[in-house]
């Protein structure tokens, strides 16, 4: 049992409200996929060293509460360098981007990475991790403020999705070797057409609301790979991918190489307002709800 201090919100929470997420907890359900807090009590088979420890948990649901009971093997002890608000915002966003770019796309130093939705919760971490892995990063986001956040995270080139032709802008920069796409829709189509031969497109989600259709003959002609990633799904069949990734990420954070960006911190009684920030795309990086 954990006394919850903070809960990080994700676009998936909005999909759960609408019954559109790939995992559907039985109703009534409490939202909140990821959280951080202090372990207050343990079941008989849990590691006793966890008692009293500050931990982060990928819960799947239940984070928007004062207390919650979660599997002990999902509790990750926090390093002293990480506060609970950072921890609540860390696992899904950084984990998704690291597994996507390292494990799935095999991003190499010197390659060009195009990040769509580059100022969002996962997009901003993809910019940061891609730069850390030695890529040249093109960030696509809407408006000057969001592009400024992407630039601060390490982006080399910026594209405003409101005013610029995405395909032409990426082609002018030499094309993309890897595309990180949490948006879908028209941006997927434009990015697809701006890919270099043997490019890898990582499908993260569909924030635009449109699931794009892919022409298989175009994949064939340009030798392009389209790779799906559902980060939480690895819990069921290869949890070691996530634990290994998280160990790397916590190490990078402790060394000062990652700087989580949280744009809004709101108390639990304003959780609906916090979710509306995501729905209205008014946030950059992460939105966190606190209970203390």
CATH code, 281: 3.90.180.10
Phi-psi category of residue 39: left, alpha or beta, with phi > 0 → left and psi -120 to 50 → alpha: beta
- How crowded is residue 168: how many other Cβ atoms within 10 Å of its Cβ? 13
Pick out the chain residues at pLDDT < 50: none
- The pTM assigned to this predicted structure is 0.91
Degrees, nearest 5: CA angle 248-63-118? 55
- Tell whether 106 and 225 lie within a shared domain: yes
DSSP class of residue 60 equals: S
Q: Which domain holds residue 63?
A: 2-90+260-290
- Tell whether 78 and 103 lie within a shared domain: no
Please, are residues 197 and 177 in contact by the beta-carbon 8 Å criterion?
A: no
pLDDT of amino acid 81:
85
pLDDT of amino acid 112:
98
User: Could you tell me which residues come within 8 angstroms of residue 27 by beta carbon, excluding any fewer than 6 positions away?
Assistant: none
Residue 239: inside a domain: no
- Tell whether 153 and 217 lie within a shared domain: yes
- Tell whether 272 and 201 lie within a shared domain: no
- Tell whether 285 and 225 lie within a shared domain: no
End-to-end C-alpha distance for the chain, whole angstroms = 16
- Name the strand (E) or helix (H) holding 237: helix 234-237
Q: What is the tally of structural domains in the chain?
A: 2
């Amino acid at each position: 049992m954990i006394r919850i201090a903070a809960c990080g919100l994700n676009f998936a929470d909005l999909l759960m409200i609408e019954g559109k997420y790939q995992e559907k907890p039985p109703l009534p359900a409490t939202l909140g996929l990821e959280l951080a807090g202090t372990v207050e009590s343990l079941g008989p088979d849990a590691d006793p060293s966890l008692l009293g420890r500050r931990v982060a948990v990928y819960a799947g649901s239940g984070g928007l509460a004062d207390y919650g009971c979660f599997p002990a093997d999902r509790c990750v002890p926090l390093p002293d360098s990480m506060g609970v608000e950072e921890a609540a915002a860390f696992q899904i966003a950084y984990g998704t981007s690291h597994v996507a770019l390292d494990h799935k796309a095999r991003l190499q130093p010197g390659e060009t990475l195009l990040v769509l939705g580059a100022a969002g919760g996962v997009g901003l971490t993809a910019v940061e991790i891609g730069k850390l892995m030695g890529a040249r990063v093109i960030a696509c986001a809407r408006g000057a403020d969001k592009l400024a956040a992407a630039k601060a995270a390490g982006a080399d080139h910026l594209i405003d999705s409101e005013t610029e032709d995405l395909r032409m802008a990426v082609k002018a920069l030499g094309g993309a070797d890897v595309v990180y796409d949490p948006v879908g829709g028209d941006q997927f189509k434009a990015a697809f057409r701006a890919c270099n031969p043997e490019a890898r497109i990582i499908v993260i989600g569909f924030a635009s609301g449109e699931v794009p259709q892919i022409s298989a003959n175009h994949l064939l002609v340009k030798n392009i790979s389209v790779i799906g990633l559902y980060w939480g799904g690895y819990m069921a069949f290869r949890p070691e991918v996530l634990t290994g990734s998280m160990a790397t990420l916590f190490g990078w954070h402790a060394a000062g190489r990652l700087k989580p960006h949280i744009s809004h911190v709101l108390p639990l009684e304003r959780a609906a307002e916090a979710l509306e920030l995501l729905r209205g795309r008014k946030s950059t990086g992460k939105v966190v709800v606190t209970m203390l």
